Each structure stands twice: as C-alpha cells, then as structure tokens.
Structure 1
Amino acid sequence: MAFINGFNLFVFAILTLLYFYQIIYVIVALVGEKKKDHFDEEAKTLHRFAFVIAARNESSVIANLIKSIRRQNYPAELIDVIVIADNCTDNTAEIARSNGAIVLERFNHMLVGKGYALDYAFNRIDSEMGGVEKYDGYFIFDADNIIDRNYVREMNKVFDKGYRVITSYRNSKNYDTNWLTAGYGLWFLREAKFLNNPRMMMNTNCAVSGTGFLMSSAIVKANGGWKYHLLTEDIEFSIVSAIKGERIGYCEKAILYDEQPTSFKQSWNQRMRWSKGFYQVMFKYAGQLISTMFNKKERFTSCYDMLMTIAPATLLTITCILVNLAGLVTCVIEPSIVPVLFPVAAKSLLFTFVNMYAMLFFVGLLTIITEWKQIRCSGFKKFLYLFSFPVYIFTYIPIAIVALFKKVEWKPIAHTCVKTVEEMQAK
C-alpha cells in the first residue's frame, strides 16, 4: 500500500520536474513579446526552391497539392515540383506529370519508406538534374497536403534570415470528421502554438514534424542525400540537427493543411510506427544527446528538449499504470489482502487517469481558445472533440506498450480527403 502511493508520487514529481520547461513555453507563447524582427519584412532575396513529395498511390490527392504550389504568391520560375512515385500501382505519376511536376518513379520493395524515397530523389537530382545545389532549398511534403497561397513567401523570409531548416504551421483538412481526426489536429496545433512558437521566440531549436518543412541544399549536399531511415525519420533528423548545433526555425505564417487518418485501424498502424520509431531514436541517440548537453553547453537547451521529446514520459507513465494494475491483479491472486490493497490500487489508478485527463483537457482547451479561428469546424464540434482529446491521447498507452515488443514496418495510409485551399479558407 505504501509502496504504490510512494511510487505514484515519485513518478508525478519526476514528470513535473522534467517537463516543467514546457509550462514556461506555454507562458512565453501567451504573454511573451515576439522578436521585433519577427520576419514581417520582405526577404532581400527570392530564393529558388523545389518541393520534394514522396507519394505512394496518391492519385486522389496529389493534384490538389501541386495546384496549391503552382498558385503561390511567389515567382513561378523559382519553384519546381518533384514527385517521387514510390512503388505506385495507380496513376499517381501520370496525374503529377499532367499537373506540371517532375516525376521520378521508384520501384524498390526492399527499402520501403519515405526516407528511402527522399534519398532516391536527392541522388537523382544530384546526378541527373544539375546537382542538389541547383536549388537553394528543398520543401519536404506529403502528397495529402495543401498549402496557403503565401506559404513559400513566408518561409522564404525566415530562410533569408539564415535559418537552414524551417518548419511551418500544421493545420488539418479534416479536423471535423471524427474524434480521431480532431485529436490529431489539436495535437499538431498545440505543437505549433506551444512548442515551436515559443522555441522560436526563445531562440532555441524547433523540431520538424514529418511534413511541411524546408531545408537548405547545403545540408542535403553535406549529408550526401537523406540518411535518416528510422520509422520516425523526422524526429531523427531533428535530433541529429540539435546534436550538430544546426538551428531549426519556425514560420508561424506559413500554413499547411494535412489529412488525418479517419479509422482507428489506420490510426493504430500509424501511431504504432511513430511509437516504435521514438523507441528506435531513443535507443540510438539518447546517449549522444546527453553527452552533447554537457560537452556543448550552448546546445544544452535544444538537446534537453529533444531528449524529453523521445523520453521518458511514455515509459514512466506506462510503468506507473502497470504498477497500479499489478496491485489489482495481486488482489485477485491473494483474496485475503483485497480489503487492504484493492482500494489503494484502484484509487491510485483512478487518480492517475483523472489527473492525466484534466491536464490534457486543459492543454486542449488552451489550444482551442488560442487557435479558434484556425480550426476548420463548427464551434459545437470544437468543444465536443475537446472532451475526446484526452481519450485520443490515452489510446497511445496500449499502442506504446505493444510497440515495445512488436516488429513494426512502414505501411501506407490511404488518403481520400480531396479539398482545395480555397475550400479550406472559405470555412
């Protein structure tokens, strides 16, 4: 009885101590004064960019992304679109070509995943298309995205200030579909508003999140392409950047709209890959992050932030829940101790979930209030899905447990939400 209470208190104290800095992030995002030169002025140079889009059987959505790129408030001659039709069995390649994209078709069933597709594209660009230096920078996108008309212009302002990697504001095309899409959407909005935004304001490292980011061709050249092939290649790239001292910036005015999985099966598969990928990254880079934190003091904040991104919240939470569940199981095995142990274990488990729910509800509420105009759905649904947001996060618990032991491979997610930027902005 004393052990369970003490253990729960210990876990709560450790998590509070480790993640207190994110409370500071929230305060900075709400009341902090933004830098005076917050990239509102026009860039001195209009740089040349290429959009690199890995697409596998994306015939239903690829055209709208390319069209949103072609309609940018930026000189068209300075933007190319390169689509990697990766192991496609549909007409993605034909649709991309008909919309003016350069298409690179790839067929490799052994090296599967976005990271390998990107590496293939950069190697082709370097060897056959004039070298990676042909472009000043590369936008990395998923085929289901669409972008605001001023996306490139706003990203170029930050790029022109010297940031060699920049991420953007990630919104959702289908926030209002169900509790899952709303859960994803709210989490990404929270990440933009209360993580990357204060990171940028405090002049520390931001993190890229799968899609919607820009990186300098100099980085591609130095790396010899794209060399990040773990299941979460985006967080791997962010962590390596923090270790190397490569500053990742954030552009809040560059808005992309992303499609979220609508079925629990697809969501389970995607988040299983993410969870497994986080474990892979943790086991591979945690030591380097800790070493860099103490050997390169100027990188301490960035490396600590990335370390907390991959560990230890999930493992500590799982351990806490398992300890309390073990107490309940013990009651079944040893009925004689039920009167003493069961109420304690049950109360501790309930207390854990209630506190987690309350905290997540508050995070969701704060995000909805600050990002109200950006969320594309009715006011009723905004509040309705606020109550299911903690439940969405809770479903990570079984996913994270299974991911510890199961072999996970990359699987494509079907995209069917066909919307234009004009439709999104009309809501």
Structure 2
Amino acid sequence: MHPILYGLLQFAFFYPLVMAFLWMVGGLYYFFRRERKARDRTDPPPMAEYPFASILIPCHNEADNLEDTLSAALNQNYPDYEVIAINDGSGDDTGARLDVLATQHPRLRVIHLDRNLGKANALRMGALAARSEYLVCIDGDAMLEEYAMHWMIWHLTSGPRVGAVTGNPRIRNRSTLLGRLQVAEFSSIIGMIKRTQRVYGRIFTISGVIAGFRRTALHRIGYWADDMITEDIDISWRLQLDHWDIRYEPNALCFILMPETLKGLWKQRLRWAQGGVEVMLRHATSLLSWRKRRMWGVLLEYLLSVLWAYTMAAILVLWALGKFIPMPPQLYIATVLPQWHGVILALVCLAQFASSLIIDRRYETHVGRNYFWVIWYPMAYWLISLCTTVVALPKTLLKRRGKRATWVSPDRGIR
C-alpha cells in the first residue's frame, strides 16, 4: 500500500477516536468542575437585581407552533420582561394569530415585516425595538423551560465581558428512529462538544434556537449578518473575535422540533455545513494574529473535521473504483466494511454516550431510554456529516457573494 494512502487510512480511523476521547474528557471535566455542585435547575442562583429583559421570537410561517412557543415564553419565572414576536413576511396566518395573542397578553409586542428578509434581519429589527440591554432569542417552534430566562440573564449580568450565552436544546419529537437518534446526539455530541470548547475558552457556535445576548456587544459588531446562511455561527465568531466571552448554560433548557425524515435532515445538516464553510472563508485570515490565539483550537478542530470528510470520501471513491476497474496494488482498498477498528470505534462511541448519560440525566430523567438506539448513530450521522461537508465546500465557493439569506421553512418532524 502506498505510504500516503496508508497515512490517510490511519487518519480516517484515529481522528474520530481521538475526538471522541477529547469530548468525553472535556465534557466530564466541565461537569465535575462547574455543573456537579451547581444548584438544581428548579432552584437557579439568586440575583442581586433582576434587570428588565426581552425575549425575541422571529417567526416565518409558524402558525402551527405559535401557541406553544408563546405560552412558554410568557410564563417564564422571571419578574420583569417583554416578549417581542417578529412576523417576517409569513404566507400563512401567523400575523393574524400574533395580533390576537397580543391583545390577550400585555407583555407581548408584535412587529410585522412586509416581506421575507431572513432570520438575521428579523432578529436585528427585534433587537432595535427591544427596551432592554439583555436579549434572549429563540426560534418560533421552541418552548423555553420555566427558568431558562433566569439562567441566561444570570450569566449575562455576571461579568462585563459576557457577550452571549447559549442554552441547552432538547428534542421534542421522537416518533421515528431519526428523532430518537437526535436525542442522543444533542446530549452526547453537541452538549459534550460545547462543554469541551468552554474548557479551552471558545465555542464554535451558539445554539441559534436559544441564545442570550448583551445588546452592547451586538451593537459593537453590527448585529447579525443577513448574507450568512447560518447567522448563529457567524455571530458567535464575530463576538469572540471582538473579545467577548460566550458562556454555555446546560440548565437553560429549550424544547425544539427537529427533522425526522432523511430529506429534512439532509437539508438542515447541509445548511449547517455551508454555514461553517462561510465563516471560515470570511473570518479565518483574521485569526492569524496572536491576539486571536484563543480561537485557534476551534479553528483547528473545524479544519480537521473537513480534512477527515474529504479523506473518507477519497477512500470510498478508491474502494468503489476497485470494484469496477483494475487498480494498482498501492491504491487498492479491499473493503470499507467495519472490521476490528470498526468494533473499537463502536465501543468508544458507546462509551461516549454512556459518559453523557452521567451528565444528562440531571436535565432529562429518562434520557437513558434512548441508549439502545445510539448504536446506529455512527452509520446515520457520520455518513451524513461526511456527505454534507463534501458537498458544502464547493457549493459555498460557488455561491454568489452578498446574497441575502432568507427563510426556508424546515422539516419540523412527524407529529
């Protein structure tokens, strides 16, 4: 076998292995140092004062979800706040329903935009209309846990350099295998990654479905960019490049709807992958200065993930070609089916999920019921991550620069 091909095979095997151990160690370290002795989430830390705050809810064709979302937002256990719903050119009766709800709830204010200008623009309009320094932003299908706002504002008021805080999304819809897999993914992958990244100081992205911001920080960087396909990744990088701190608060729970079809999942993950590439193209060169060194770990992690995706794609292409045409012995790959190394990766994957259960059971008592399904996770999600990353890079490079990112209603699962 050619030495370069042998090196690629070794990288393809060891990269997910090393990252899984990194996330396990980092996640458990964060838990035992910062979470284990924290108060129970039904008893959040007291605050010396409770500043007025705003919940921003951008909405586009959310008529089916409005009542659940607004009911949770309007019943926060926090003394002084407002809720601002931004109807961004919805084609259904979202606007009419919001107007009716506004007459019933004094806390609720409604902003109507006449056409679809995208989530970033809707958030900017909401931020400019808000009467507070502290903003909690959620999606139009998200349901905040009772104390979520308290936890977010507690972080934002804990230090003058805290620019944002990201919460802990939980999956509401679990009627299919994909839904159950995402329960495990959000706890043992996304949650563990955010904990690990907080250990070394920087977060790749806030969770766009639940995030809190200091408006002063947003104003300094120019608010959300309306030409980025994932405004949450971009705002995270720009805040941290401006030396604002982003916190992670697992007690700030938010229940969300996620795709439960392969088509819907593909579109969502391709958008996420494109967003990562866009951020790299726009901001990577600005990280070369020593003052931005704390972002180097996040940058390296992302670049290695892209390299791994293309390495796996190359291996699969060589294997497929070997089935149809004669290949030189140095380039021939006999099989890509799991063998002893596949067993090791599966065991490490299960260990990672088991370690996440130690942490996650304090936030969701019966999350262990989904442990059986995680054995399918590597096949389902590593494969889709590989494919979306490979597709996203050329698609983003060919994208017309400056094009506004407008709303596209996502798959919200089978209900």
State the TM bucket, normalised to the shorter chain: 0.7 to 0.9
- What SS does structure 2 have at the residue aligned with 1:345? coil
Equivalent positions of 1:26-425 (< 5 A) are 26-29=27-30, 31-32=32-33, 41-75=45-79, 78-100=80-102, 101-109=108-116, 111=117, 113-123=118-128, 125=129, 134-162=131-159, 163-174=162-173, 176-190=174-188, 193-200=191-198, 202=199, 204-206=201-203, 207-227=205-225, 229-289=227-287, 291-292=288-289, 295-296=290-291, 300-301=293-294, 303-330=295-322, 332-334=324-326, 340=329, 345-347=333-335, 350=338, 356-372=345-361, 374-375=363-364, 380=369, 382-393=370-381, 394-406=383-395, 411-415=408-412
Seen in structure 2, the aligned counterparts of structure 1 residues 386 and 154 have a Cα distance that, compared at 3 Å, is: same
Unmatched 5+ stretches in structure 1: 126-131, 419-427
> What TM-score do you get using the length of structure 1 for normalisation?
0.80
Matched positions, count? 393
Distance across 2 between alignment mates of 1:19 and 1:284:
28
Retained in 2: the 8 A contact 1:169–1:192?
no
Identity %, equivalent residues: 18
CA RMSD of aligned residues (A): 3.2
- Seen in structure 2, the aligned counterparts of structure 1 residues 260 and 247 have a Cα distance that, compared at 3 Å, is same
One-letter amino acid of the structure 1 residue matched with residue 33 of structure 2: G
Q: Which runs of 5+ in 2 are unaligned?
A: 103-107, 400-404
- Tell me the distance in 2 between the aligned counterparts of 1:107 and 1:309: 41
Does the CA contact (< 8 Å) of 1:11 and 1:316 recur in 2? yes
Query: Structure 1: which amino acid aligns with 2:308?
Result: L
**TM-score, scaled relative to structure 2:** 0.82
Instruction: Quote the offset at 1:150 in angstroms.
Output: 1.3
Q: Deviations over 1:19-60 (max 9, x none)?
A: 875454134135436598889541112011111111111111
Distance in 1, Cα, partners of 2:138 & 2:319: 47
Q: Distance in 2 between matches of 1:324 and 1:61?
A: 42
